[in-house]
A = this chain, B = another copy of it.
């Protein structure tokens, strides 16, 4: 980080520019430095690290103050991150990338489907310390104020100390009834979805399917996992890497394919 200047913070999300989560995240980020928001024009939940290859992107500037710029992009969360880093920041590299606050948790295997995490992974690819925030309230008009102390704490620490290379943070915040117990560093709770679709029949007699599903945890009592601690009133931070190679399996796969 350039010691003589305010930090530069890039903010995006997957719910779209007009959700409370990104408004709250942007407000907290502005306490720490200059902010550029580059957010999807439309809802992009579940887009993971999807990118747009067959149609062109546009970036509509909607705000340009000295300490705060904002663009809306007709693409995915990852498109927003890429377009900001390659074009809109005009050669500057952010000191920090933030995503969220997502309206809904991104615990467990949701990591791979989450557009919120897509932004953090993209920051990671480009060597920028990156944090995704998600909150256990799925409603459009969720009150995000209970998240502010945790968000402020994490931003402060990551801005001053950075993150290890090729690691980003997946921070999940439980629905806070009384008071948050603190923040635990966790693993992703592995599991799978069951009863994933609701089948309906349209007025013409043809079936169609809505994605739904329940998450069935492989190890519900494993006290290293994000879901274990979310259930118990703790916020969680899971360090995630972009390199998915399983080095431990390489020898076994070599034998299998030889």
Asked whether any CB of chain B lies closer than 8 Å to the CB of A179, the reply is no
Q: Determine how many copies of this chain the complex contains.
A: 2
Asked whether any CB of chain B lies closer than 8 Å to the CB of A240, the reply is yes
Q: Which of A21-29, A95-103, A121-129, A141-149 contacts B (4 or more CB under 8 A)?
A: A121-129
| Cβ-neighbour of A164 out of B50, B242, B249 (below 8 A) | B249
Interface residues on A, range: 35 or more
| Cβ-neighbour of A185 out of B112, B118, B257 (below 8 A) | B257
Q: Which of A4-12, A31-39, A81-89 contacts B (4 or more CB under 8 A)?
A: A81-89
- Contact in complex: B167, A59 (CB < 8 Å): no
- Contact in complex: A109, B82 (CB < 8 Å): no
Asked whether any CB of chain B lies closer than 8 Å to the CB of A63, the reply is no
Chain A interface main SS type = mixed
Which of A52, A112, A161, A164 has the most B CB atoms < 10 Å from its CB? Answer: A112
- 30 CB contacts below 8 A, A to B, read A46-B52, A48-B78, A48-B118, A50-B113, A51-B211, A53-B211, A56-B200, A57-B211, A78-B113, A82-B197, A86-B196, A87-B209, A109-B125, A112-B125, A127-B192, A161-B256, A163-B256, A164-B252, A185-B254, A187-B250, A188-B243, A188-B244, A190-B243, A237-B253, A237-B257, A238-B245, A239-B245, A241-B246, A241-B249, A244-B244
Please name 11 further chain A to chain B contacts, defined as beta carbons within 8 Å, in addition to the given A48-B49, A112-B244, sorted by A numbering. A43-B54, A46-B50, A48-B78, A58-B206, A82-B197, A112-B121, A157-B256, A164-B249, A167-B246, A190-B242, A242-B244
